[in-house]
Structure 1
Amino acid sequence: MNGNLQSPHTRGTIIYWFRNDLRLDDNPALIDACQNAENILFVYCHSPSTSHASRWQLPHPGLHRQRFLASTLADLRQQLITRGNQLLEVSMGAAEFLPLLARESGSSVIYCEEIAAPYEQDEVLVLKAAGLTVHTRWQSTLIDPVDLPFMHYALPDVFTQFRTIIEREGVQAPAPLPGPQSLPPLPDNYSQIASKWAIDTRSAEAQVHTDISKAQMDQRSSFPYFLPEFSGGSTAACAHVERYLNRKLPHTYKQTRNQLSGLDYSTKFSPWLASGAISARQIFSALKKFEAEHGANEGSYWIWFELLWRDYFRLLHLKYGHQLYFAKGLTNLPIPTHDAGKFNDWCLARTGEAFIDAAMAELAATGYLSNRMRQVVASYLIHELACDWRAGAAWFEAQLIDYDVYSNQGNWLYIAGRGTDPRNGRRFNIQKQANDYDRDGSYRRLWGKLESVTRDQ
């Protein structure tokens, strides 16, 4: 992890590999690359699969994730064109493609963000083994790890202790950095490179629009990504944050955050944060300006609280790494049991428990689910159906448009009682949850009938 260290100066062609940082503003790794490059190639690799999904024979990613990613990349592509460059998209994994691109372009230097998860770490190791120089930059947290009053290996194992230290010590988030207004040019042989490997993005976009127009514009969605204001990319992300703050919704966030349906009950920042179309620092900076103008209250504080939870799950990966992906997690509990039939029924919204099936139907139809229902359905899969928590995590990975490797793994470990939480998991009483959050049954009626849910979505 390079942290804030500046990479050694490198002239010539540099490859910038976009991962989960699909933005130009507040992207330190990209800024470093642009400062050190004579020419630059911006690349996004559409990896065909990951080990997480394939273990459970699940689609990766699902159609909703594909569609949201397509609009995110379309926005990024346009921003690069505006600044004098282009985005090379290929249908190969990075570990396979980037060594080929390095040979073709005459570059051995790659810049990218650091991702402290096993599959993503392995990709970088393969590139280094191929003889490439890979400069990684940690940049997805609100707080920079170098500013913490402890080393990452001394991270408290209880979130409340972590939060208390951060607030007591007055640890501040760095201000977001402006993106480059112009970019180094493409290498002279870019046309040959693109003709050899680039996918037809116009065809891909047309297919996405066709898919959406055919079936998936579900007006019940709490995150209708088929509408321009909820589409992927930093343009929509920044506009959404501004709109959310202008309506003074932070002041009511804590009161509404556990609701199950609607556009305004939660911030809806997560899909853009997950793809890196906007950074946590950009959001927090805007929030602090809002509080300076309109005042802070418990609601606006709770947005900071949630951003800090997001940081905590990332920092846990720096401390524990691969251990977070073991069947036992960080515990000495037995290997979890698994029932493939019950898991399949859970995925297909056919458990027979109306509250659970409503949530799983919503997830299948929209690629989105409230935080409350994510916890409830995870608890049901683990504690009532006695299925492997890793299968549930893989299903969320395939389905959620706001899938984030850190938060997804952290939350499933939390519910399963196999992470750092001292209370040995969260087993929710389904009837009590339904009574507390869907007393009138409106959520169950809204999602109680779905014509077709398949494992291919």
Structure 2
Amino acid sequence: MKTVLFWFRNDLRLHDQPALQAALASGARYLLPVACLPAPDERGAWGWERASPQRRAWRHGALRDLDRQLTRLGCPLLVCDGDPATVLPALAAAVGATELYCEDIAAPEELQQVAALRAAGLAVHTTWQSTLLDPQYLPWTVDALPASYTPFRQAVERATRVAIPAIPATSAAAATSASSATKAPVTAPLAAPSALAPAPLAPPDALLPWPPATTAAGPGLPGYRAALLPAHVDARTVDARASLPAGLQGGETAALAHLHQYLHRRLPDSYKRTRNQLQGVDFSSKWSPWLANGALSARRIVAELRAYEAQHGANEGTYWLWFELLWRDYFRLLHLQHGVALYRERGLSTRRATPTPDASAERTANLTRWRHGATGQPLVDAAMRELLHTGYLSNRLRQVVASFLLGELQGDWRAGAAWFESRLVDYDVYSNQGNWLYIAGRGTDPRGGRHFNLEKQTAEHDPDGVYRRLWTEGESA
């Protein structure tokens, strides 16, 4: 009887899961949901850890929540350590599976993982599902995507002027994919499945407890139930000054609860007015950490937002939330259009490329000072200390510190992008790459890059020094 693997990647949810629905529709008798964790000490090209303790803890929380939901459906989540290209073929062999289903991620490392799985003999079925918009129903093919955001947004808004499907306010879970037949650029989100195929029986040594015990080499591999994941977080990684609400977890349950309370408290109405603030819980939606790990679907957000507008009326705030979600889509579609070119030092520009990271002593020292909030510029230092301690930073400050690294310190944008990858709990490969290229003038900014005047930014956004004092008083450089 047929067994298939379902590989959770950056889609740690059950609602709005076309890839999972495809696996369930495949005719498989058994389904094994699996996720892979890289080694916690994995280092990137710049020498620091790929994922900070805060970022790992956020993902672990999402996996624990996903496991609880899957367990209720009789199909617990298996989490494996190591490179998916190695562990997933071994797991498939252990349970007699030849097919694997997963979401499609159009970034170089993620594409290489899928290619390696196919080379290992697995039939891999991928589904594109992370965008709000369905690429096949847009006004242009991906190859003809507009070269900057504004014409992209304008064309999308013309195409979506018809009603975007909304989830009825009284029964959000009842939404289905029926509207997909209309071929609209934005379709209604799928409901979570009410049943799953059972998990296959596996050899006993294929499922080991956490931490993996030392065992003789064999067909098994180190794996453990997600419910037993270590948090990898202690008092040193929890900061009372953080803008993310205390006690939040990274999973789908918390994501949907946060979305509900944000709408219930009518915070969309003030979003445009407050979105550039630097500190606090409610000045922005705080959806990004759950969008990043896929615990929350962008289509679910927009459907709920349309229901909110139907009840309370549309306004600048609700429009601006849509505006920002379109930016998120644009950076994803750029990856479909340009692929690995977005990872070159020159990006999409015609500038002469630097073949390897510049390791000169001065630039290395500047980068270290910037990373640790020791540049001598109070606003920059406060922001970088917040990022270091909490794994979060407001959108305004992300732009300010990126501009400072590239402009005043003459740093390499790739190093800045790698540091954000390491620290941000809401790290998203598409948006991170797109935003750094944009600031550096190597992406789609029609002005050829953005430089922020630090004095002006300080005067406008922290005139009384409240934010700077919060993150610099009592801190040592």
| TM-score interval, normalised by the smaller of the two chains | over 0.9
Partner of 1:39: 30
Secondary structure class of the residue paired with 1:54: coil
Partner of 1:199: 224
Amino acid in the other structure paired with 1:100: A
RMSD (Å) for aligned C-alpha atoms: 1.7
1:18-51 alpha-carbon deviations (Å, 9 max, x no partner): 1000001101001110222210111111023899
Is the CA contact (8 Å cut-off) linking 2:95 and 2:201 kept in structure 1?
no
Pairing 1:140–2:165 present: no
Tell me: CA distance 1:100–1:23, structure 2 relative to 1, closer, same or farther (3 Å). Answer: same
Partner of 2:334: 316
Residue 217 of structure 1 deviates from its aligned partner by 2.6
Equivalent residue runs for 1:1-150 within 5 Å: 12-36=2-26, 37-48=28-39, 54-150=44-140
Residue 169 of structure 1 deviates from its aligned partner by 2.1
Partner of 1:423: 447
User: 5+ unaligned residues in a row in structure 1: which ranges?
Assistant: 1-10
Pairing 1:184–2:197 present: yes
Is the CA contact (8 Å cut-off) linking 2:373 and 2:382 kept in structure 1?
yes
Equivalent residue runs for 1:31-430 within 5 Å: 31-36=21-26, 37-48=28-39, 54-170=44-160, 172-189=185-202, 191-195=204-208, 196=220, 197-199=222-224, 201=226, 204-205=229-230, 207-208=231-232, 211-212=233-234, 214-224=235-245, 226-227=246-247, 230-335=248-353, 338=358, 339-430=363-454
Whole-angstrom distance in 1 between the partners of 2:424 and 2:441? 22
Between 415-424 and 337-346, the greater mean CA deviation after superposition: 337-346
Residue 71 of structure 1 deviates from its aligned partner by 0.8
1:340-359 alpha-carbon deviations (Å, 9 max, x no partner): 11101100111111110000
Aligned length: 435
Whole-angstrom distance in 2 between the partners of 1:450 and 1:48? 34
Residue 181 of structure 1 deviates from its aligned partner by 0.9
Whole-angstrom distance in 1 between the partners of 2:12 and 2:296? 8
User: 5+ unaligned residues in a row in structure 2: which ranges?
Assistant: 161-183, 209-219
Amino acid in the other structure paired with 1:24: L
Whole-angstrom distance in 2 between the partners of 1:49 and 1:64? 11
Amino acid in the other structure paired with 2:239: D
Is the CA contact (8 Å cut-off) linking 1:25 and 1:177 kept in structure 2?
yes
Tell me: CA distance 1:172–1:50, structure 2 relative to 1, closer, same or farther (3 Å). Answer: farther
Whole-angstrom distance in 2 between the partners of 1:315 and 1:157? 11
Is the CA contact (8 Å cut-off) linking 1:48 and 1:60 kept in structure 2?
no
Secondary structure class of the residue paired with 2:224: coil
Between 398-407 and 188-197, the greater mean CA deviation after superposition: 188-197
1:172-198 alpha-carbon deviations (Å, 9 max, x no partner): 410000121111001122644213421
- TM-score with structure 2 setting the length: 0.88
Residue 215 of structure 1 deviates from its aligned partner by 2.5
Whole-angstrom distance in 2 between the partners of 1:131 and 1:310? 34
Residue 73 of structure 1 deviates from its aligned partner by 0.7
Whole-angstrom distance in 2 between the partners of 1:40 and 1:201? 16
Secondary structure class of the residue paired with 1:266: coil
Amino acid in the other structure paired with 2:187: P
Is the CA contact (8 Å cut-off) linking 1:218 and 1:366 kept in structure 2?
yes
1:307-326 alpha-carbon deviations (Å, 9 max, x no partner): 10100000000000000000
Bigger proportion of residues as helix: 1
Whole-angstrom distance in 2 between the partners of 1:448 and 1:415? 26
Partner of 2:176: none
Residue 108 of structure 1 deviates from its aligned partner by 1.2
Is the CA contact (8 Å cut-off) linking 2:64 and 2:229 kept in structure 1?
no
Whole-angstrom distance in 1 between the partners of 2:227 and 2:331? 37
Whole-angstrom distance in 2 between the partners of 1:395 and 1:24? 30
